[in-house]
Amino acid sequence: MGLLTLYAGILLPWLGGTFWLVFADARFNKNSKINRFRQAGYGFFLGHAILFLAIIASNAMTGVVSWPQLMGFLLLFAASGAIAAWFCPKQSAITPLAPKTTPSLLTTTFLACAMVLMTVHLVFIAVEIFTQPLYPWDAWLAWVYRAKTWFLAGGMVEITGSTGWVAATSTSIYTINAWVYPLFASVIPYWAALGLGRWSETLVNLPVLFAGLALGMALYGQCREHGMSVSASLIACYLLFSIPLFGTHLALAGYADIWMAGFTGLGFVAVMRGAILRDNRHGSVYQVVIGFLMIIFSLWVKNEGAVWFLAALAMLILAVCRPRVPILIILAAVIVTLVVFALGLTYIEIPLIGKLGLVDGHLAIPFIGNFKMEVHDVRYVYWDNLVNMGSWNLLWVAVAGSLLLGFGSPGLSSGDNSRRTAVSFVLVFVATQLFIFGFTSQGLWADTYTAINRLPLHFVPALLFTVMIAVHTSFRKNENSQAVRHEDA
């Protein structure tokens, strides 16, 4: 056991996820332009989702997590995926997704600089991961602490709350404050330690480095499949790695939020692509299914995944349905709520799901939790965190500017769905963030400058994709206008 087995434990699920995604593309995503970087990026996260489920199932059925047995499963998973992809009917050759043009010297120099800077970012992140012991922040007290406990105890022992721990008669029960957190962000460093054969305060974070690389690959691939040039897609990757908060979560690692950026952020990108491609039925349904699978799995990463799933549904409805549909849905929800309150009920009990409504002054939402309704003025908190403090670089300026640039005026044919989809995403994103921090007790986490940064991090890939859509749309509008003027002349 050592570095070789550690890398094997990370790369095998990545290969398996990628091969099976190649197979799924060939089988269900017909007549769509395919980019291998998109397949590899999404394949990493889907492969690690399968790894997580395999570890949980193995522990539940046998009571142990056997590294050799799980590696055998992963080898079978990757090999079968490779065979399925190989024998699946081949699509036509992967064609360039934007017209080929000879780049100018200035463009070539700019792109070379972008690649060098991205490499520098990744090198410094890798140096931190290989040399910086786990930083003493929340990950040290929660997710990675749980992984270390499992490794040193020789298995996935029970971790419960302080009350259960005090009342326990067994010495194999442990406790932490965050014992109810989902398991994914603890299982991955635990798996890394099993592959390494020892506990390392640095190397257990190595999967996070690969996760960051996969995020960049997936974003690049989706931009290319959308029709953007290599230059524009590469710029999107550079913007991703240049965000200070994103780099911090990669370099210091341990938190669950970088994994949420993969599952939730890339999931939203896929749902957006599905909404944009709705004229291509196969491609649209395929992207939407992949996107929702990613977002659904984020439930095993952080509890916020349930909120983001509802947000993705709302975004899809806004993007693809006629305007009257969301209006009718809102009116129906308001009418049902008023009728329920008129009958003297403050909540309803949904069988097998839970309570929905106001329970003892708290808003209860199934699978999400109970929140006290209260108003918080978060205007200055947002301004400080998103603009003044520099944690986000110029991301939010880019989001605002690109929306004005790309969607400020009509000009595209009604068949182009990019603008409406991007605006729908921004509206849903803003609404969820303002509701969570402005109108519930979660606003306390905004006042402490913590979750107000971490939650938007989940959407970074989708936010950057929105920026690139806006710029791409603006260029297309200009090209269309120039073509019309040329024909008139």
**What tens digit of pLDDT does each residue of 284-296 get?**
899 999 999 999 9
H/E element, 354: strand 354-359
Residue 114's pLDDT is 86
Contact 251, 6 (CB under 8 A): no
Query: Phi, psi at residue 467, to the nearest 5°?
Result: -60, -45
Quick check: is 311 in a domain? no
Domain boundary among 226, 255, 284: 255
Determine the Cα–Cα distance for residues 363 and 125; give it in Å rounded to an integer: 41
231 with 333, same domain? Answer: no
Helical spans, DSSP H, in 252-363: 257-260, 266-276, 281-297, 305-320, 324-342
Domain boundary among 227, 255, 283: 255
Quick check: is 284 in a domain? no
457 with 324, same domain? Answer: yes
Quick check: is 305 in a domain? no
**Identity of the residue numbered 485:** R
Residue 106's pLDDT is 80
Domain count, the chain: 2
Range of the domain at 201: 3-87+107-255
Q: Specify the pTM.
A: 0.92
Contact 160, 178 (CB under 8 A): no
Residue 410's pLDDT is 52
Quick check: is 299 in a domain? no
341 with 435, same domain? Answer: yes
207 with 344, same domain? Answer: no
Q: What is the pLDDT of residues 59-107, one digit of tens each?
A: 999 989 999 999 999 999 999 999 999 988 765 444 444 455 666 788 7
Residue 301's pLDDT is 95
pLDDT < 70 positions in the chain: 31, 90-103, 352, 405-416, 476-489
Residue 472's pLDDT is 84
Quick check: is 276 in a domain? no
Quick check: is 164 in a domain? yes
Give 3-state DSSP helix, strand, coil % of the chain, rounded to 5. 70, 5, 25
Residue 413's pLDDT is 44
Determine the Cα–Cα distance for residues 173 and 180; give it in Å rounded to an integer: 14
Residue 99's pLDDT is 53
How do beta strands 174-175 and 347-350 pair? unpaired
H/E element, 21: helix 3-28
Domain boundary among 233, 255, 277: 255
DSSP annotation of 393: T
239 with 323, same domain? Answer: no
